[in-house]
Amino acid sequence: MTMAPPRPITITPPRPKAGRAAQVVGFRTGNEMAALSAKQINFHLMGYYPITPSTEIAELLDEMKAAGEHDIVMVPADGEHGGAGVCYGATTGGGRVFNATSAQGLLYALEELPVQSGTRYPMLLDLATRTVSGPLDIRGDHSDVYYALNTGWLIFMARDPQAVYDLNLIAMRLAERADVRLPAIVAFDGFFTSHQKRRVSTFEDDATVREWLGPLPEMVTALDPRHPVTIGPYMNDPDLINNKYQLKLAMDAALAALPEVVSEYEALSGRRHDPVDLYRMDDAEVAVFLLNSAAETAKDAVDRLRAEGVRAGVISPNVIRPFPAAAIREALRGVRAVVLGERSGSYGAHGGNLTHEVKSALQDDPENHTLCVSRVYGLGGRDFYAEDAEAFFRLAVDTAERRAVEVPFDYYGVEPGDPVKPRPRRGTPPLTREEMTSGLLKVEPGPDGRLKVEAPPYWELAAKPKRVVPGHGACPGCGIFPALDQFLRGIEGDVVVLYQTGCAMVVSTGYPYTSHRVTYVHNLFQNGAATLGGLVEMFHERVRRGELPASEDITFVMVTGDGGMDIGLGPAIGAALRNHKMIIVEYDNQGYMNTGSQLSYSTPLGHMTSTSHVGPAELGKAFHHKDTPQIMAATNMPYVFTGVEGYPDDLVAKAAKAQWYAKHEGTTYGKVLISCPLNWKTEDRVGVEVVQAAVDSCFFPLYEIERGITRITYDPEPIGRRVPVGDWLKLMGKTKHLCQPENAATLALIEAEVERRWQRLRARDKHPLL
Ligand SMILES: Cc1ncc(C[n+]2csc(CCOP(=O)(O)OP(=O)(O)O)c2C)c(N)n1
Ligand code: SF4
Ligand SMILES: [Mg+2]
């Protein structure tokens, strides 16, 4: 069947206001400007996932949403891949869509980006740039945005908070043009721009922004049943190359239309953002080519050098897709030497990506004799001061004087290690298997097919050394390490741990130091289970091949936060279904704490977080907490448990069982509720009390599922300790509002859900087939 032709598209070109619009002056960061422009555009939807340093954008928009300041549907995705999917789906529904991310977030979403551009649905993605892992570093460079160069998205570079705002509006206008229809990225420097306040002007009236964009152009939509369409059909040659050629034509059209859009924006705002920002380039003999905030720094250096008589200038594109090759070629016409500084390498390519694009632009001008020197600088947020810019200019001057490029490509700012300085020494000796084997824990299969654990009172295990030594940077009152320590005491012998990204990982390692006395591996929190699964299989294979001694006996433990069981749920389920012999232990603090207290899917209904605010138009998190133990149990893994620090004997016995099953049968999983004073807004010392109330209210029941059979290991009811859910909620700052009479309906919903899950658990406890 051939596809029905889509409904003809009619576009009403938006008409800009004649003359300047009223503006207000403020003092804002790049993230604030991103959020404000999004609010003023009043996107239909934002799909997002938190990642530093872009997280604030969603947080600010959520705060505004709670206050009723915009109508954007805020969709907290389960990861950036999901977020990009949410955005793509929403654009096929014909509305305006927004996303914001950084670094790994962009990379995790990357494969969706060509889907978006290939089907030509415009949207806006704000990228607070950050270096790509590994190693993990949250500060800014351009290694993330460079990955997007081949995705078919327009890419704008915003040098300061004002440019973030302006380019968001320019990008949307350009992206929605009938001859362009491409998604757009606006990239600004993580922390340098995302978090530093600058003086800015913004349109006083949101209507000005909406008029600037005009009505949403009509596009092929999935929401018109009378005109059914096929979006994203399977496509072979010769059509595919034609499709890609159309993308190229759209980029050409964008480049051609940009000056017009820029001029119209200038008429409205008084600010001009040409495709290439040129500073004192009219008569420049030497120049530096830099993106974003570093270019601003270099302008100061230019003024100093000009006073010395050096004819220096700065070239800095405001857009890199489409690449303004002609404008750059033109700007470099009379320049004798240029230093091309890039905040990202392209390993093995003898220069960053844009070095080659500038060189190829110059190649097309037979008259051009500019000498090009390429330097990678400022990786991982390394500062770039005016002195660094001056060093670049001196390099350009030197090159011009020599009339030759001495070192065409190098890294700038690399510090060789000091060979005299002693290497950091191991603070504590490696643990021996003997000292980690107390011999006090006995686990054996019982007659009913379930394991019998003989364990001493917890205090008798206290002699066992800690596998994580004190000195880590967890907050006072944090429950992570006390709970993990209890759990790990139930595990005998050698352990290899894998930590997914989260507080536990961040506060316990910081190159060149570590708090771990056992071998520790990190992988990003969407993929730890797969990684540990690979390591486990390698271990067994090397033992089988005789490459490792048959006596080697290691227990593999993955430590994850609750957030890691959102974004990493698929790989965790995959590991469980493949049944790798390992333990997954989740510490649940009910939020993404490492990135500043955003909601996770384990955050319960109504709880306040930085992405689930409480205000006239929003009452905390909008959906119930994820029942991760039940999800994992559905993989039919041999052993699932829940635990808390307050019941050490219970937790140790469960750890011992988890170890037995991980050795003999396959994957086991446990969820441990830990106190987090920061997220829960409690005093440091009350963590145990709050966790106890969570258990006694049956919000967090203690139980295990062993070979499919559920057993409640602590029942507060027969001993008269059951308390209402409200008694737990009133203990935390993040939930106090739920105890107010006006929020009784939400409290009732939470109570009903807790009760439903508890009664189901009790039924399962009583009936082995449930
Ligand atoms: C792909 C990707 N997206 C987002 C992030 C940012 N990030 C790192 S840790 C984290 C939250 C972790 O939450 P959780 O697993 O609950 O651990 P916690 O921080 O609460 O200890 C987030 C959002 C990232 N590093 N990589
Ligand atoms: S934010 Fe919470 S989980 Fe993270 S270290 Fe602090 S108390 Fe612990
Ligand atoms: Mg968490």
Q: Which distant-in-sequence residues (6+ apart) come within 8 Å of 473 by Cβ?
A: 506, 507, 508, 510
Q: How far away, in angstroms, is 212 Cα from ligand 3 center?
A: 41
- What atom of ligand 2 comes closest to residue 677's alpha carbon? 7
CA 675, CA 690: separation in Å to the nearest integer? Answer: 8
Whether the per-residue pLDDT at 7 is higher than 50: the answer is no
pLDDT of residue 4: 47
Q: How far away, in angstroms, is 600 Cα from ligand 3 center?
A: 7
Q: Which distant-in-sequence residues (6+ apart) come within 8 Å of 458 by Cβ?
A: 486, 489, 648, 649, 652
Local confidence band at 426 (pLDDT 50, 70, 90 cut-offs): confident
CA 661, CA 441: separation in Å to the nearest integer? Answer: 15
DSSP state of 737: G
Ligand with the closest atom to the CA of 508: 2
Q: Which two tokens stand for residue 482?
A: 């006390």
Tracing tokens 């759209």 back to the chain, one arrives at 250
Beta pairing, strands 668-673 & 154-158: unpaired
- Ligand 1 pocket residue status of 499, Cβ below 6 Å: no
Q: Residue 1, class by beta-carbon neighbours within 10 Å (0-12 exposed, 13-18 middle, 19+ buried)? A: exposed
Q: How far away, in angstroms, is 33 Cα from ligand 3 center?
A: 28
Q: How far away, in angstroms, is 47 Cα from ligand 3 center?
A: 20
Whether the per-residue pLDDT at 27 is higher than 90: the answer is yes
- Ligand 1 pocket residue status of 99, Cβ below 6 Å: no
| 434-492 per-position pLDDT tens digit | 999 999 999 999 998 899 999 999 999 988 999 999 888 999 999 999 999 999 999 99
Local confidence band at 64 (pLDDT 50, 70, 90 cut-offs): very high
Ligand with the closest atom to the CA of 567: 1
| 592-631 per-position pLDDT tens digit | 999 999 999 999 999 999 999 999 999 999 999 999 999 9
Asked whether the bond before 512 is cis by omega within 30 degrees of 0, the reply is yes
User: How many CB atoms are located within 10 Å of the residue 443 CB?
Assistant: 21
Question: To 10 degrees, what angle do helices 239-269 and 161-175 make?
Answer: 130
| 356-406 per-position pLDDT tens digit | 999 999 999 999 999 999 999 999 999 999 999 999 999 999 999 999 999
- Ligand 1 pocket residue status of 597, Cβ below 6 Å: no
Helix (H, G, I), strand (E, B) or coil at 315: strand
Asked whether the bond before 134 is cis by omega within 30 degrees of 0, the reply is yes
CA 619, CA 608: separation in Å to the nearest integer? Answer: 8
- Ligand 1 pocket residue status of 590, Cβ below 6 Å: no
Q: Under a CB-based contact definition with an 8 Å cutoff, are residues 591 and 529 in contact? A: no
Q: How far away, in angstroms, is 308 Cα from ligand 1 center?
A: 49
b/e for 207-219, b at 16 or more Cβ within 10 A? ebbebbbeeebeb
Atom 9, ligand 1: residue with shortest CA distance: 502
- 363, 385, 555 from 542: Cα distances, Å: 54, 51, 15
Q: Which two tokens stand for residue 537?
A: 């299989």
Q: Under a CB-based contact definition with an 8 Å cutoff, are residues 503 and 478 in contact? A: yes
Whether the per-residue pLDDT at 280 is higher than 80: the answer is yes
Q: Under a CB-based contact definition with an 8 Å cutoff, are residues 54 and 127 in contact? A: yes
> 320: closest CA among 443, 426, 428, 186?
186
pLDDT of residue 18: 59
- Ligand 1 pocket residue status of 51, Cβ below 6 Å: yes
Q: Which distant-in-sequence residues (6+ apart) come within 8 Å of 553 by Cβ?
A: 433, 493, 494, 663
Q: Where are the beta strands (DSSP E) in 77-123?
A: 97-101
Helix (H, G, I), strand (E, B) or coil at 28: strand
pLDDT of residue 144: 98
- 17, 36, 204, 284 from 209: Cα distances, Å: 10, 11, 9, 37
pLDDT of residue 351: 96
Q: How far away, in angstroms, is 694 Cα from ligand 3 center?
A: 16
Ligand with the closest atom to the CA of 523: 1
Ligand with the closest atom to the CA of 480: 2
Q: pTM, whole model, 2 decimals?
A: 0.96
Whether the per-residue pLDDT at 28 is higher than 80: the answer is yes
H/E element, 608 = none
Ranking 227-241, 417-431, 742-756 by mean pLDDT, the lowest is 417-431
CA 584, CA 580: separation in Å to the nearest integer? Answer: 11
